[in-house]
């Protein structure tokens, strides 16, 4: 079964609002993303299935500018409305990104308007004028006219790639130590990838500017940036996953099976020693073990 990787991005016009109201705006971003995926997938014109997926919030780009977006890892299918069968997506195609983009825009702006009416948004400094309802409405109308970016990356090759991705990606910070090159005379140099031309470049900033960019990506205290939805949501995951495995003809306690092969092989590293295969593990057993070993999972509806 393929796993798909989708990215939902807020337009740059919303960045100042997100910086002043990170807890509210990031929550709305995650909620709008989840509701969009669940609604489009449930539509019989597209997939007609109940999805299960996880979302990861990131707020940075390679140059450390503010760039809020959500990464989603989604199995390529879901449960039918009655839960009686598994519905798979088409090969190498999950859901139409243009349809996702338009619904995502509508849902986020509707949620934002509701938060504004409830007085949940702080508007000061350059945004003070938006406290006037007519100004806020005019700004919202401008956002409705712009295209919002939803990107669907090529599907993962299988469960092993999903595990590799999650193990190195979910708990990233804005910049890793390996990208830092030097600190000289109050200037910080670091590597970054320019996606416009695909080139790796070096950027040098004053230490103050570097810290300013880095600190704007610290999330509010207690904010949950990794959330699970659909049949992976906390309240139903155990039962729903068992149902999915049954429909996919997956045996929960998959025995280790030794495929036909030579009992001994020459070590591919040194070319001299003997490599003895002790045991083989099926991908599903690795996923199940990881699931059972993880702590009480994070959020969501």
Higher confidence at residue 267 or residue 100? 100
pLDDT of 18 reads: 94
Of 79, 80, 41, give the one whose Cα is nearest residue 232. Answer: 79
* Percent of the chain clearing pLDDT 70 (strictly above): 84
**Between 40 and 264, residue with greater pLDDT:** 40
Show the tokens assigned to 295: 């702590």
Q: What percent of the chain has a predicted confidence (pLDDT) above 90?
A: 53
- CA separation for the pair 84, 176 (Å, rounded): 45
Question: Residue 249 — very low, low, confident or very high, per pLDDT cuts 50/70/90?
Answer: confident
- The pLDDT confidence band at residue 279, using thresholds 50, 70 and 90, is low
Band (185; pLDDT cuts 50, 70, 90): very high
pLDDT at 242 over 80: yes
Is the separation of the CB atoms in 57 and 171 below 8 Å?
A: no
CA distances from 78 to 44, 166, 291 (A): 12, 21, 19
Measured CA to CA, the distance from residue 263 to residue 278 in angstroms comes to 9
pLDDT of residue 250: 53
Question: Could you write out the DSSP letters of every residue in 204-268?
Answer: EEEHHHHHHHHHTTPPPTT---EEEEETTSTTTHHHHHHHHHHHTT--TTPPP---S--SEEE-T
pLDDT at 262: 46
Q: What is the pLDDT of residues 65-123, one digit of tens each?
A: 999 999 999 998 999 888 888 998 888 788 999 999 999 999 999 999 999 999 999 99
300 φ, ψ (degrees, to nearest 5): -165, -160
CA distances from 204 to 14, 78, 256 (A): 26, 47, 52
Per DSSP, 114 falls in state H
Per-residue model confidence as pLDDT tens digits over 10-63: 999 998 999 999 999 999 999 999 999 999 999 999 999 999 999 999 999 889
Per DSSP, the three-state class of 192 is: strand
pLDDT surpassing 60 at residue 232: yes
- Dihedral of alpha carbons 227, 231, 234, 238, sign: negative
pLDDT of residue 278: 62
Least trusted range by pLDDT, from 67-76, 96-105, 241-250, 273-282: 273-282
pLDDT in tens, 110-151: 999 999 999 999 999 889 988 999 999 999 999 998 889 998
Beta strand ranges found along the chain (DSSP E):
3-9, 52-60, 66-75, 77-79, 86-88, 150-156, 180-184, 187-194, 199-206, 226-230, 264-266, 274-276
Question: What is the arithmetic mean of pLDDT over 234-253?
Answer: 78
pLDDT category of residue 277 using cuts at 50, 70 and 90: low
Instruction: Give the chain's mean pLDDT.
Output: 84
Q: If you compute the radius of gyration of the chain from its CA atoms, what whole number of angstroms results? A: 23
Q: What is the mean pLDDT of residues 191-200?
A: 88
pLDDT at 301 over 70: no
């Amino acid at each position: 079964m393929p796993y798909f990787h989708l990215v939902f991005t807020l337009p740059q016009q919303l960045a100042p609002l997100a910086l002043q109201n990170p807890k509210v705006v990031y929550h709305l971003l995650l909620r709008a993303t989840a509701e969009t995926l669940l609604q489009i997938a449930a539509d019989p014109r597209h997939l007609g299935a109940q999805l299960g997926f996880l979302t990861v919030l990131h707020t940075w780009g390679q140059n450390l500018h503010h760039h809020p977006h959500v990464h989603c890892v989604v199995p390529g299918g879901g449960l039918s409305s009655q839960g009686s069968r598994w519905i798979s997506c088409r090969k190498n195609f999950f859901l139409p990104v243009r349809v996702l983009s338009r619904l995502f825009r509508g849902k986020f702006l509707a949620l934002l308007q509701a938060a504004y009416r409830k007085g949940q948004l702080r508007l000061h400094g350059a945004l003070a004028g938006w406290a006037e309802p007519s100004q806020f409405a005019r700004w919202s109308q401008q956002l409705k006219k712009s295209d919002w970016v939803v990107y669907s990356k090529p599907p993962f090759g299988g469960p092993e790639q999903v595990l590799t991705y999650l193990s190195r990606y979910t708990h990233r910070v804005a910049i890793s130590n390996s990208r830092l090159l030097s600190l000289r005379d109050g200037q910080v140099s670091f590597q970054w990838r320019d996606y416009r031309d695909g080139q790796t470049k070096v950027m040098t900033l004053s230490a103050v500017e570097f810290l300013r960019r880095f600190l704007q990506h610290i999330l509010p205290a207690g904010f949950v940036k990794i959330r699970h939805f659909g049949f992976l949501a906390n309240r139903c995951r155990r039962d729903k996953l068992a149902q999915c495995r049954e429909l996919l003809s997956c045996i929960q306690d998959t025995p280790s099976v030794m495929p036909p092969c030579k009992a001994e092989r020459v070590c591919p590293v040194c070319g001299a020693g003997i490599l003895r295969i002790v045991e083989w593990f099926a991908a599903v057993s690795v996923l199940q073990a990881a699931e059972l070993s993880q702590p009480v999972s994070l959020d969501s509806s």
